[in-house]
Amino acid sequence: MTALRFDTYDWSGGREAMLRFGRDAGPIVIAALPLFAEANRTRQFLVTILRELADHGIGSVLPDLPGTGESIVVTGETRLRDQRTAYTELAQQLGRNIYGLSIRSGALFDTDAALAGRWQLSAQTGEDVLRELDRARVASRSARASDTDYAGNTLSREMLADLRHATPYAGTGPLRGARLESDPRDADVKYAASPLWRRSEPDNDTVLAQILANDVSHWIASCES
Amino acid sequence: MLVIFEGTSQVETTVRAVLADILGLSADRVAAFTADTPLFGALPELDSMAVASVLTELEDRLGILIEDDEIDGEMLETFGALVQFAASKALV
């Protein structure tokens, strides 16, 4: 199994940690986890995909974006705008032949980056994210401390405004959208599996990870040829 | 998007699959659920965050929209109540 390496990257707002897998040359994948609770439920799964990709000869990075992972930016000061800037600047530093790989709301970070292509699993809009945050608040019947308190996360009004209008990249260039078979929305390809991002306890799906890594690696090869 | 359901049995199958997927229950376990099987308060996996996930996943798979003020304890009391609620939204 491919070993991971711990690294950092600098962006105009500071320094963040990132994991690296596989080769540093050739096509490089920037992987993006979803926002908030779904990141915890899909991190191990995404790392499994990246290890598999390395075995296919494709290197990748999994950056902490400001306000996520080990970042010192606190949740209440996190903005999608800054996360997009950090992603864009990281892509610039990595060079050419950079591909975005995202799960769910991870597709919202790469909109301003110059990428050779984008591969998205079950992409969602910022409005979808907000609706699920609201739903979690209603279901928990929590006494609302303020209207920016979401199931234990305090989000800034700026972050909520950023999300309200955020959609995945809709410009030109190669884009492949994958979804689960249980999802009725359109997709380039669908796979039968359970949605790990909604699991009440974090889990992994190594079989699906292998299938998706295979899909991503073939797709990148077709983009490069 | 037009979603046509043949009837309650298809909604029931979807509700079973969603509970298995979200709560990480085995297929055997959810297959044994009957209309009277208690859910909220009886399944430790079904906490309030999981309730939110179950309802949102049902919305996605059935192409329905659940209003926040429709969410109450009764709809989640038993498997039968949840199927009935989902069917009332899907089969209109």
Residue B34 domain flag: yes
Q: How many structural domains are present in chain B?
A: 1
Min Cα distance B69 → chain A (Å) is 9
> What domains sit in chain A, N to C, each tagged with a CATH number?
4-126+174-224 (3.40.50.1820)
In a domain, B36, yes or no: yes
Per-residue pLDDT of B66-75, as tens digits, reads: 988 888 888 9
In a domain, B42, yes or no: yes
What is the model's pLDDT at position B7?
Answer: 67
Interface test with B, best of A105, A194, A198, A208 (most B CBs within 10 A): A198
CATH number at residue B69: 1.10.1200.10
Q: What is the pLDDT of residues A129-188, one digit of tens each?
A: 999 888 888 777 655 556 777 777 789 999 999 999 999 999 999 999 999 999 999 999
**Residue B33 pLDDT class (50, 70, 90 cuts):** very high
CA distance B16 to chain A (A): 13
Cross-chain Cβ contact B52/A195 below 8 Å: no
Residue B19 belongs to a domain: yes
Q: B37 in a domain, yes or no?
A: yes
CA–CA dist A87, B65 (Å, integer) = 34
Per-residue confidence (pLDDT) for residue B91, from 0 to 100: 79
- Please give the pLDDT value at position A166: 98
In a domain, B23, yes or no: yes
What's the mean per-residue pLDDT of chain B? 88
B2 inside domain: no
Task: Specify if B72 maps to a domain.
Answer: yes
Q: Which pLDDT does position B49 carry in this prediction?
A: 85
Q: Is the pLDDT of residue B8 over 80?
A: no
Asked whether the beta carbons of residue A138 and residue B60 sit closer than 8 angstroms, the reply is: no
ipTM over 0.90: no
Judged by DSSP in three states, B91 sits in coil
Asked if the model's pLDDT at residue A199 lies above 90, the reply is yes
- Residue A144 has a pLDDT of 55
* Domain coverage including residue B53: 8-90
| Chain A contact present for B21, CB below 8 A | yes
